[in-house]
């Protein structure tokens, strides 16, 4: 069975586990870097990217996660997770993992609109997708290898760069599991490196 890890350092972990299981895959909460070897794909949840980065450094996750990415294994960054994946961040000299070819800006939907929902037209999904945004980042620009999959008010909020999928919103907070399913299928069709 396809096994998908959820980075379990901080943030909306349990909800992702539920969503993965609803899609018929096996979920593993990743609390130690060694556990990355057991999974075929990794979801990095929403939460607070600065806190998650501190914990990534504290528990020695940075190199194992880069190795995971270099092995071609799919990674899905949701909200704070997207910030961790991005190659470039507005206002920062250095990225975190820096693997997905996008420029991301944090907290970019304004304070008065800290959280909101919006119906998105998503490439590949037949019906609109109701997305929950919480102090969300957005993708300012995407590199040539990156496919834009959804926009909200002229801003990119979902994109895929090969093995990397990133979104501004929280796909795990509703009963609509289509995006998790999309990622599970990415993992199932990824070339297996032995
Ligand atoms: N604002 C958070 C950050 O900068 C992200 C918010 C979220 O993941 N819901 O990391």
41 and 71 Cβ atoms separated by less than 8 Å: no
Measured from the CB, is residue 79 less than 6 Å from ligand 1?
A: yes
170 flagged as catalytic = yes
For the whole model, what pTM was predicted?
A: 0.96
Q: Residue whose CA is closest, atom 8 of ligand 1?
A: 46
The annotation places the binding site for L-glutamine at 47-49, 106, 134-135
Which residues face 19 on adjacent strands?
none
Per-residue pLDDT of 103-124, as tens digits, reads 999 998 876 568 999 999 999 9
Strands (E), the chain: 3-7, 26-30, 41-44, 75-78, 86-89, 100-105, 115-120, 129-134, 138-142, 146-152, 155-161, 164-167
In the chain, the domains with their CATH numbers are 3-188 (3.40.50.880)
Tens-place pLDDT, residues 126-183:
999 999 999 999 999 999 999 999 999 999 999 999 999 999 999 999 999 999 999 9
| Percent helix / strand / coil, the chain, rounded to 5 | 30, 30, 35
Residues in the chain: 194
Cβ atoms 72, 163 nearer than 8 A: yes
């Amino acid at each position: 069975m396809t096994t998908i890890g959820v980075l379990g350092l901080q943030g909306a972990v349990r909800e992702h586990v539920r969503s993965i299981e609803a899609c018929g895959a096996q979920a593993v909460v990743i609390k130690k870097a060694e556990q990355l070897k057991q999974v075929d794909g990794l979801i990095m949840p929403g939460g607070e990217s600065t806190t998650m980065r501190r914990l990534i450094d504290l528990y020695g996750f940075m190199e194992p996660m880069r190795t995971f990415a270099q092995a071609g294994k799919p990674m899905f960054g949701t909200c704070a997770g997207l910030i961790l994946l991005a190659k470039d961040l507005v206002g920062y000299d250095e990225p975190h993992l820096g693997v997905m070819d996008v420029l991301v800006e944090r907290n970019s939907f304004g304070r008065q609109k800290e959280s909101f929902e919006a119906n998105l037209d998503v490439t590949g999904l037949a019906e609109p997708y109701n997305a929950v945004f919480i102090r969300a980042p957005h993708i300012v620009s995407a590199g040539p290898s990156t496919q834009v999959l959804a926009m909200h008010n002229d801003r990119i909020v979902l994109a895929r760069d090969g093995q990397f999928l990133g979104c501004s919103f929280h796909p795990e907070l509703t009963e609509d599991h289509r995006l998790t399913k999309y990622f599970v299928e990415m993992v199932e069709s990824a070339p297996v490196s032995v």
